[in-house]
Amino acid sequence: MGADEEAELPEPERTEPERTEPGRTDGPEQQAGPAGPAGLDARDRAVLALEARSWRTAGAKERAVREELGLSSTRYYQLLNGLLDRPEALAHAPVLVNRLRRVRAARRAAR
């Protein structure tokens, strides 16, 4: 069978609905992207990836948050703080999450 013959074959029709993972719903969090191996959606993984980067100039991080994630700085830090308490985030980026947890604990202790 050549490449031309393969292109002429019709695609089989699907009669079964697509199955989702047990316990997963098609809520708003699903719209952010499929869950990765650690159970985090694309936005959560993007927040952690952005936080892991180093920044050379003041304001570069806030600009990247607005441009890449479409979030305000306040919302970004709210999401990040919530991620630090999730075991999925710890499984996804253990070094980063543990470092940020230590920084957060030190700031709380300083108050």
Tens digit of each residue's pLDDT (9 = 90 or more) over 3-40: 555 445 555 454 444 444 444 444 334 344 555 555 89
Q: What is the pTM of this model?
A: 0.65
Distance from C-alpha of 45 to C-alpha of 76, rounded to nearest angstrom: 12
The CB density around residue 60, as the number of other CB atoms within 10 Å, is: 12
Distance from C-alpha of 61 to C-alpha of 97, rounded to nearest angstrom: 18
Tracing tokens 């993007």 back to the chain, one arrives at 46
Distance from C-alpha of 78 to C-alpha of 89, rounded to nearest angstrom: 14
